[in-house]
Structure 1
Amino acid sequence: MKIIDCRNMACPAPVISVKKALEEHGELQVLLDNGAPRENVGRFARNRGFQVSEEQIETGAWALSITSDVNITTSCTSRDLNSGRVLLITSNCLGEGPEELGRLLMKNFIHTLLETRDQPTSILFLNSGIFLTTDGSDVLEALEKLKGMGVEILSCGLCLDFFGCKEKLRVGGTTNMLSTAENLLSAAQVIKL
């Protein structure tokens, strides 16, 4: 089994390295830092039908064994094309104008999603949008309910790191730019707020 060392790599380099290695080798052992890199690589592999086992090898470092007899060329995308509606939220405010009004509008929008007939497949939070999924957000309960209804809630790992909020994430999971790009490109409809 091929071993690749992805420790100390910035997002999305670990996922891209694993993607390329899986295309060549089919099975891998990946050395990773704890946190977002481990979560992102594990999710990437699982979404493509691979088995993933994790073992902590030292403080803050993990080895992920990725195995499968699935043909990588037939399982290369995590979602089918036209997989649904994706909301891309890049701010904790909705619209232009006074920040206080923008925060209120965003809060009302997210709460209103619970009452709509058609739910998004995923909601992606980037830039200051990640503040909606972290400690102190007014919409955590609504997002948790959406998650319970089957809506995928994902926050940018790099953004969480940038704002020092990685440990403050309260709803959903983390994502990286490769997964974000795949989500957006495979969606039947993308709505940016």
Structure 2
Amino acid sequence: MKTIDCRNMACPAPVVTTKKALEESGAEKLELLVDAGAARENVTRFLQNRGYQVAETELEQGFALRIDTTAAAPPRTQAAHKSGETVILLTSDRLGDGPEELGKLLMKNFVITLLELPDLPSRMIFLNTAVHLTTEGSEVVEPLQKLANMGVEVLSCGLCLDFFHKKEKLKVGSVTNMYNSAEALMAAGSVIKL
């Protein structure tokens, strides 16, 4: 049995580490060590949604989740069939309406998590304060560059960059205008607005 220690990892690392362990696992059984709370719930839900039975044991520090990687049932939920390109429209440098620090952490985790998904958007359009994510000083420039290298078109609003005096500080992707942004949104098979 292979054991993977996911304790003391910030979200989304426990789920991402679990996903990678499953992909690389040649062993019949896998044990994941996770913290109590969100990490335990998120990893368990991730495994169950993929058809795995999870046996859980409480430890002094966290939980041990044991799964048989050869005995996965068909996933309970299937992804909907998609047609056309997917465009992600970002209009803020944070996710949600709560505290600024939490919103920025959630946005960072969202962008990093995109790297682990099998289906990527075709474009990411950054408007308003979201252009701060593509410019110098942003914590997500590196993951956004990786997404761009994987074929995701990263587009930042030129008017917004000018407004925030950031055009010369653009670090990833290219500058776009409202016409091109509107055209991309109207032609998309699906638009996800953050």
- TM-score, normalisation: structure 2: 0.57
- Give the aligned residue type for 1:102: G
Inter-partner Cα distance in structure 2 for 1:156 and 1:87: 14
Counterpart secondary structure, 1:120: coil
Inter-partner Cα distance in structure 1 for 2:89 and 2:115: 17
Counterpart secondary structure, 1:155: strand
Deviations 1:57-107 (A, max 9, x none): xxxxxxxxxxxxxxxxxxxxxxxxx64100000000001110000000000
- The reply to whether residue 184 of structure 1 matches residue 185 of structure 2 is yes
Q: How do residues 125-140 of structure 1 correspond to structure 2 at under 5 angstroms?
A: 125-140=126-141
Deviations 1:14-37 (A, max 9, x none): xxxxxxxxxxxxxxxxxxxxxxxx
- Give the aligned residue type for 2:160: C
- Give the aligned residue type for 1:94: L
- Give the aligned residue type for 1:128: T
Inter-partner Cα distance in structure 2 for 1:144 and 1:137: 12
> Which residue of structure 2 aligns with residue 174 of structure 1?
175
- The reply to whether residue 102 of structure 1 matches residue 103 of structure 2 is yes
* CA radius of gyration, larger in: 2
Inter-partner Cα distance in structure 2 for 1:120 and 1:102: 21
Counterpart secondary structure, 2:106: helix
For these two proteins, the number of residue pairs brought into alignment is: 112
Deviations 1:37-73 (A, max 9, x none): xxxxxxxxxxxxxxxxxxxxxxxxxxxxxxxxxxxxx
Q: How do residues 136-155 of structure 1 correspond to structure 2 at under 5 angstroms?
A: 136-155=137-156
Inter-partner Cα distance in structure 1 for 2:161 and 2:150: 24
Inter-partner Cα distance in structure 2 for 1:151 and 1:182: 17
> Which residue of structure 2 aligns with residue 123 of structure 1?
124
Kept in 2: contact 1:85–1:120 (CA 8 A): yes
Higher RCO by CA contacts (8 Å cutoff, separation 6 or greater): 1
Counterpart secondary structure, 2:119: coil
Note the residue ranges of structure 1 that are not aligned, 5 or more in a row: 1-81
Counterpart secondary structure, 1:117: coil
Inter-partner Cα distance in structure 2 for 1:172 and 1:106: 18
- RMSD of aligned alpha carbons: 0.7
Kept in 2: contact 1:83–1:121 (CA 8 A): no
- TM-score, normalisation: structure 1: 0.57
> Which residue of structure 1 aligns with residue 65 of structure 2?
none
- Give the aligned residue type for 2:107: M
Q: How do residues 7-156 of structure 1 correspond to structure 2 at under 5 angstroms?
A: 83-156=84-157
Inter-partner Cα distance in structure 1 for 2:160 and 2:118: 31
